[in-house]
Structure 1
Amino acid sequence: MAAQLDDPGVVIGEDGLARPVWASVDPLLRAYYDTEWGMPVTDEQGVFERVSLEGFQAGLSWATILRKRPAFRDAFHGFDPDRIAAYDDSDVERLLADTGIVRNRQKILAAIQNARATIRLRDDMGLSTLIWSFQPETTPRPRIFEDVPTTSPESLALSKELRRRGFAFVGPTTMFALMEAIGIIDTHLLGSHRRGSSGIWPA
């Protein structure tokens, strides 16, 4: 659906493209929205990184995490699950001293715990296949930001299953945000130029 000039859900940028308010001002958020958010991610390391970052984002703004993402990648060895699973107490202290990341002990320990759980999943279906198995039959069709839900039956079920598998910081709201971010669902506003860009869901 093409955005209308009077569409209350989107802002028309100087480039003539329609975006939601949250992605219309900050250049970093706009670039992320235009190139990454909602595009399919299916490789283990890519999915693990996003699970980790969504966990660190809990209680914070996504803009904060996005600005710190390069530092996170450096500190966590590119979010390589094998490297992180081998972290010991000295690595935890190293991370707690790193001013470039979110220095929260519980979240750091959760990332290590989740790396180990990711490795265990390789003997089954693997992290990516497990998460993508919760793709719903339909996706939201929001016109304004207030139409976008924050949880779904699928995100509730995914959260429960990941917890059963030994993951932490994977609550239903966090998992819904993950599903949005990696293309499992499409919550781009109907008037946005990115609606349907994943190729998974029709515009």
Structure 2
Amino acid sequence: MFAGENGLQGDPRLKAISEAIRVIPHFPKPGIMFQDITTLLLDHKAFKDTVDIFVDRYRDMDISVVAGVEARGFMFGPSIALAIGAKFIPLRKPKKLPGKVISESYVLEYGTDCLEMHVGAVQPGERALVIDDLVATGGTLSAAIRLLERVGAEVVECACVIGLPEVKGQCRLNGRPLYILVEPRQLTSASVYSDQS
């Protein structure tokens, strides 16, 4: 579900968050309109508003684990976890964690990838939130859900800052709710100008 359609209709914070995300055309390959959240992180108010909206949503949901997907989920997850009194668990790409791990592979448009988590980081019965910056096909988030559920966690919801319009009707991943703040911005003459400044 999109935040703007669920209790935050007309909230000026959502517009400011959207406008703080820079669009980079043809990155990392031709035809891709890359949504660059590094400019959101440079805008203290928009960054704080992003975290605050997530915190307001999850504060009273009895979540004990915030799992961030490498790498951009790491930018939002720890702040949310601290504010709601949960632990932060990094879900990393292969061979990045030093201890014993469990892995979950998933299919990409061209090939496969994998997420790993430390064994013992999450206990059976813990309630988890999965956070990432953007959802496109949902493959990465679905792998994160499977990884957490394999160790007995209950995934309460997945949350992303940006969701592609084609996932608008897809309010669930692997049967779990999906919460999105904004849709991707399209490149306009104004954003072309600001990208060059």
Query: Counting helix residues as a fraction of each chain, which structure ranks higher?
Result: 1
Q: Which has the higher contact order (CA 8 A, sep 6+)?
A: 1
TM beyond 0.5? no
Normalised by the length of structure 1, the TM-score is: 0.28
Query: Counting strand residues as a fraction of each chain, which structure ranks higher?
Result: 2
Normalised by the length of structure 2, the TM-score is: 0.28
- Higher CA-based Rg: 1
